[in-house]
């Protein structure tokens, strides 16, 4: 940010005397701060043999010369003249945390997503790796510098000599290992220390972790003709030794995962590594199982791991000891020394977009990384994003199609149920008449049922009948959600919670009511209607314990659960052949969102959750409850018609000049003073419009306006949108204004390129 630009000057103020013509080694250093470019520092003589790009350093920054941790991104020579450089104070790593490829990738991310290079680097390297979690300093032993001379004049016992012989072959060694190899106790070591022959030092212990290879090995599945044809096209790209992005559009149940596995096997046979990205933590356990049953070594990277586990996996990957890396969004940065392929499963999922700085999209990062390393990128989905679909339609990416399910099983019929006149819904039930009957039939036939509702809690709205006001969070402009299991009304944004309100905080009336249905209320209703059924709820409230996702899905897979209900974590990627009915409780909760992608997401979620049934000869059916049966996303999803929906929605987007026909960047301003935040947002919008009027007539600036959630965590929020035909033109427009921008104290700003939510 411009408010920080002056720091660059302070990093290079005089405090070091040198001859004017002397060439000195220098390092370019970036910091985890909103600063635009690297700082130049002198490399002191004691660090010149050690320091490499990709290592962390401590260096003085700012007027107070406070030591700050940064990343060395380049090393060169500089001829000092009138300017004299500050020296680096400390080198914090013994080997680089990032290689040249990753440094280039992170620099691209900083430019593409308008964040500082240092912020990106700090995000890419996991905290556990930076802190060396899972290791500790231990006491070790080595031969002293004067040991050989001393041994010439001092007599050693057999045990003491054995200790010396071990250390001559390998040192330093911790005490336990040294005594084990020398077949002695600690006495001889201590005696040698007293004689000055060995000395103690502190070293960092080696990491240990879970075995990379787990699970019984299984044989390949038989590929059908469309799987084999698709695999052949992927292998052609793999064998070409060049980059190609392929979009695999395969309907749910078409066998995409088996194709991924066969392609990765080819890559592994060349001694290379593959990265597989999955969107949901709930998908990770079953994905890991499938890959570990087919490959020798599989590492896992996801947010539920401890820092020590992540550090250990990171080291194994960096050593080339891992064939396949499976993980969520951040696994795209896995330090593979020989990358051969990246696969992104369910590429349409919004979870691949980072929601805090730096706000990168894993799909675009993977695209750039694969182009860098000249390897293929494979995107897979039954409901691709419109951005990916239009690239394939324009032949920028290669389209691979798998339109049929394995074994020619038909896609399940989808029935759209208009609940506006449903008598059960009118009486306050969540399960309408048609769905009630269908669940009963499925259970009688010993089938399993999945019910999808994308709202957590018991009742999403706490409302006063007297004054008509919702009971809101005092920190956020959000109505509290009633969680009956906790006996609390909870804010799902800041976790503020209060006991169940007996009176309205606005008018003090006792007429407080709870409206709407969340997954907890749905669970109660289902248990009451089907008393003999075994019911399991999966949402972020019930799946907090480590391993709970895997345990829950295992019990469902084994037939120990009859009805599985939950949020979007059950909507995709799960393969349960005994599921004969899927019910979407309320499609409108997804459709009526203040988001330009609401229609696209509604289609994707209905199509994905519908794909959980009909995966065996038993068949299956889907019921979608909605009050908007004429909505295009609902109608096309009911027909399993992705291409029809894509054509319709792209036409709407083109008329509106919306993505993927433009690049949009969202600027969010926040602070404790609403007037100040509003004024700042309007001033920035005015500057952007002035610049657009003179330099880019195709650019548009929308806003400033209050964000949909105007107050969040006690900060008022205003936003504006900048739209232009390409990301480069948005960047040029924004950077011109940013260089002249000074934010007032108390106002923060976030820049979100290609936003996927507008809350």
What are the E-state strand segments in 80-123? 90-91
Instruction: Encode pLDDT of 224-280 as tens digits.
Output: 999 999 999 999 999 999 999 999 999 998 999 999 999 999 999 999 999 999 987
CA dist 424 and 97 (Å) reads 60
Instruction: Encode pLDDT of 544-602 as tens digits.
Output: 887 788 888 889 989 999 999 999 888 766 778 899 999 999 988 878 777 889 999 99
Residue 146 has pLDDT above 70, yes or no: yes
The residue length of the chain stands at 759
Asked which of 238-247, 523-532, 727-736 is least confident by mean pLDDT, the reply is 727-736
Alpha helices in 558-695 (DSSP H): 588-591, 598-610, 632-638, 642-656, 674-695
pLDDT, mean over the chain: 88
Residue 21 has pLDDT above 90, yes or no: no
Mean pLDDT, rounded, for 109-131: 92
Instruction: Encode pLDDT of 155-164 as tens digits.
Output: 899 999 999 9
Question: Cα–Cα distances in Å, from 325 out to 244, 256, 303, 314?
Answer: 20, 18, 14, 10
For β-strands 563-566 and 448-452, DSSP reports them as parallel
Tokens describing residue 143: 């031969």
Q: Which residue has the tokens 């006491």?
A: 139
pLDDT of 137: 65
Residue 504 has pLDDT above 50, yes or no: yes
pLDDT of 64: 77
Tokens describing residue 321: 């000891």
CA dist 7 and 292 (Å) reads 50
**CATH, range 2-130:** 3.40.1440.60
Q: Give the burial class of 313: count Cβ atoms within 10 A of its Cβ; 0-12 exposed, 13-18 middle, 19 or more buried.
A: buried
Mean pLDDT, rounded, for 1-24: 44
Question: Cα–Cα distances in Å, from 338 out to 160, 274, 296, 321?
Answer: 45, 9, 16, 11
Residue 82 has pLDDT above 50, yes or no: no
- What are the b/e assignments for 362-375, b being 16+ CB within 10 Å? bbbbbbbbbebbeb
pLDDT of 81: 47
- What are the b/e assignments for 174-204, b being 16+ CB within 10 Å? eeeebbebbebeeebbebbeebebbbeeeee
In this chain, the answer to whether the domains covering 2-130 and 663-753 adopt an identical fold is no
Dihedral of CA atoms 666, 667, 671, 674 in degrees, nearest 10, equals -80
CA dist 168 and 635 (Å) reads 77
Asked which of 49-58, 181-190, 281-290 is least confident by mean pLDDT, the reply is 281-290
CA dist 621 and 638 (Å) reads 11
Which residues pair with residue 202 across a beta bridge? 139
Residue 121 has pLDDT above 70, yes or no: yes
Asked which of 92-96, 120-124, 678-682 is least confident by mean pLDDT, the reply is 92-96
Q: What percent of the chain has pLDDT over 70?
A: 93
**Sign of torsion, CA 734 737 739 744?**
negative
Q: Which residue has the tokens 């950077």?
A: 735
Mean pLDDT, rounded, for 41-58: 93
Are the CB atoms for 172 and 181 separated by under 8 Å? no
Assign domain 225-407 to its CATH superfamily: P-loop containing nucleotide triphosphate hydrolases (3.40.50.300)
Q: Give the burial class of 610: count Cβ atoms within 10 A of its Cβ; 0-12 exposed, 13-18 middle, 19 or more buried.
A: buried
Asked which of 7-16, 75-84, 275-284, 660-669 is least confident by mean pLDDT, the reply is 7-16
pLDDT of 501: 85
The rounded Cα 217 to chain-centroid distance in angstroms is 29
- The closest alpha carbon to 325, from 376, 359, 281, 274, belongs to 274
Asked which of 53-57, 76-80, 596-600, 666-670 is least confident by mean pLDDT, the reply is 76-80
Q: Work out the angle at residue 107's Cα, subtended by the Cα atoms of residues 385 and 327, and round it to the nearest 5 degrees.
A: 50
Residue 5 has pLDDT above 50, yes or no: no
Architecture of the domain delimited by 409-455+517-653: 3-Layer(aba) Sandwich (3.40)
Using pLDDT thresholds of 50, 70 and 90, give the confidence band for residue 149: confident
Residue ranges per structural domain of the chain: 2-130, 137-204, 225-407, 409-455+517-653, 663-753
pLDDT of 210: 53
pTM of the model: 0.85
Mean pLDDT, rounded, for 713-741: 91
Tokens describing residue 648: 């319709």
pLDDT of 215: 55
Instruction: Encode pLDDT of 385-420 as tens digits.
Output: 999 999 999 999 999 999 999 888 889 999 999 999
Are the CB atoms for 462 and 512 separated by under 8 Å? yes
Question: Cα–Cα distances in Å, from 427 out to 423, 430, 468, 584, 732?
Answer: 6, 9, 21, 19, 56
Tokens describing residue 438: 């269908």
Instruction: Encode pLDDT of 605-642 as tens digits.
Output: 899 888 888 888 888 999 999 999 999 999 999 999 99
Residue 12 has pLDDT above 90, yes or no: no
pLDDT of 207: 56
Residue 7 has pLDDT above 70, yes or no: no
Residue 6 has pLDDT above 60, yes or no: no
Which residues pair with residue 513 across a beta bridge? 463
| CATH fold group of domain 663-753 | Alpha-Beta Plaits (3.30.70)
Greatest mean pLDDT among 221-225, 295-299, 486-490, 668-672: 668-672
Residue 502 has pLDDT above 90, yes or no: no
Instruction: Encode pLDDT of 436-479 as tens digits.
Output: 999 999 999 999 999 999 899 999 988 888 888 888 899 999 88
Asked which of 4-8, 85-89, 526-530 is least confident by mean pLDDT, the reply is 4-8
pLDDT of 9: 39
């Amino acid at each position: 940010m411009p408010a920080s630009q002056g720091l660059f000057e302070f990093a290079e103020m005089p405090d070091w005397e040198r001859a004017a013509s002397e060439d000195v080694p220098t390092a370019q250093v970036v910091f985890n701060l909103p600063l635009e470019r690297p700082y130049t520092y002198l490399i002191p003589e004691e660090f010149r043999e050690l320091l490499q790009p990709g290592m962390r350093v401590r260096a003085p920054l700012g007027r107070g010369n406070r030591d700050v941790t940064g990343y060395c991104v380049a090393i060169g020579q500089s001829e000092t003249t009138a300017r004299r450089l500050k020296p680096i104070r400390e080198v914090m790593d013994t080997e680089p945390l990032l290689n040249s490829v990753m440094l280039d990738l992170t620099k691209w991310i900083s430019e593409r997503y308008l964040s500082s290079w240092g912020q990106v680097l700090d995000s890419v390297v996991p905290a556990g790796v930076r802190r060396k979690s899972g290791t500790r300093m231990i006491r070790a032993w080595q031969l002293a510098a004067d040991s050989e001379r001393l041994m010439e004049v001092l007599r050693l016992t057999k045990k003491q000599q054995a200790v010396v012989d071990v250390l001559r072959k390998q040192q330093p060694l911790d005490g336990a290992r040294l005594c084990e190899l020398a077949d002695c106790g600690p006495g001889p070591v201590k005696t040698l220390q007293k004689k000055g022959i060995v000395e103690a030092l502190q070293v960092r212990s080696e990491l240990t972790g879970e075995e990379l290879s787990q699970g019984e090995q299984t044989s390949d599945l038989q590929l059908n003709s469309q799987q084999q044809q698709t695999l052949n096209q992927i292998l052609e790209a793999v064998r070409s030794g060049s980059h190609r992005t392929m979009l695999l559009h395969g309907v749910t149940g078409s066998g995409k995962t088996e194709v991924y596995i066969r392609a990765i096997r080819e890559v592994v046979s060349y001694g290379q590594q593959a990265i597989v990205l999955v969107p949901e933590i709930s998908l990770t356990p079953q994905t890991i199982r499938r890959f570990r049953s087919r490959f020798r070594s599989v590492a896992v990277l996801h947010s539920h791991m401890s820092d020590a586990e992540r550090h250990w996996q990171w080291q194994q990957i960096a050593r080339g000891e891992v064939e396949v890396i499976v993980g969520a969004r951040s696994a795209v940065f896995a330090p593979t020394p020989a990358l051969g392929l990246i696969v992104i499963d369910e590429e349409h999922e919004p979870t691949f977009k980072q929601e805090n700085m730096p706000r990168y999209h894993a799909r675009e990062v993977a695209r750039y990384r694969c182009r860098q390393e000249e390897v293929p990128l494979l995107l897979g989905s039954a409901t691709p994003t419109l951005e990916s679909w239009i690239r394939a339609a324009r032949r920028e990416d290669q389209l691979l199609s798998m339109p049929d399910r394995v074994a020619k099983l038909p896609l399940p019929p989808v029935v759209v149920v208009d609940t506006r006149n449903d008598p059960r819904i009118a009486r306050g039930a969540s399960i309408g008449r048609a769905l009630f009957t269908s669940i009963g039939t499925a259970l009688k036939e010993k089938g399993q049922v999945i019910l999808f509702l994308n709202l957590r809690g018991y009742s999403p709205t706490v409302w006063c009948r007297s004054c008509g006001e919702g009971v809101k969070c005092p920190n956020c402009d959000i109505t509290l959600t009633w969680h009956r299991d906790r006996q609390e009304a909870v804010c799902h944004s800041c976790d503020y919670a209060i006991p169940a309100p007996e009176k309205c905080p606005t008018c003090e009336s006792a007429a407080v009511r709870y409206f709407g249905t969340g997954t907890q209320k749905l669970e109660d209703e289902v248990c009451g209607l089907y008393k003999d059924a075994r019911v399991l709820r999966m949402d972020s409230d019930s799946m907090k314990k480590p391993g709970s996702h895997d345990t829950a899905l295992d019990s469902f897979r084994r037939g120990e659960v009859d009805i599985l209900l939950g949020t979007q974590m059950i909507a995709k990627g799960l393969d349960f052949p005994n599921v004969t009915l899927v019910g979407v409780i309320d499609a409108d909760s997804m459709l009526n969102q203040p988001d330009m992608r609401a229609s696209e997401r509604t289609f994707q979620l209905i199509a994905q959750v519908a794909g959980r049934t009909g995966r065996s000869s038993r068949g299956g059916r889907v019921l979608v409850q909605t009050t908007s049966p004429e909505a295009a996303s609902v109608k096309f999803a009911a027909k399993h018609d992705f291409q029809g929906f894509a054509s319709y929605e792209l036409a709407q987007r083109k008329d509106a000049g919306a993505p993927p026909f433009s690049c949009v960047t969202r600027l969010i301003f926040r602070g404790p003073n609403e007037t100040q935040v509003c004024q700042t947002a309007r001033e920035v919008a005015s500057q952007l419009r002035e610049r657009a009027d003179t330099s880019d007539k195709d650019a548009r600036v929308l806003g400033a306006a209050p964000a949909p959630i105007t107050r969040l965590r006690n900060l008022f929020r205003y936003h504006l949108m900048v739209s232009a035909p390409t990301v480069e033109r948005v960047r040029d427009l924004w950077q011109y204004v940013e260089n002249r921008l000074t934010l007032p104290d108390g106002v923060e700003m976030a820049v979100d390129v290609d936003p996927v939510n507008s809350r």
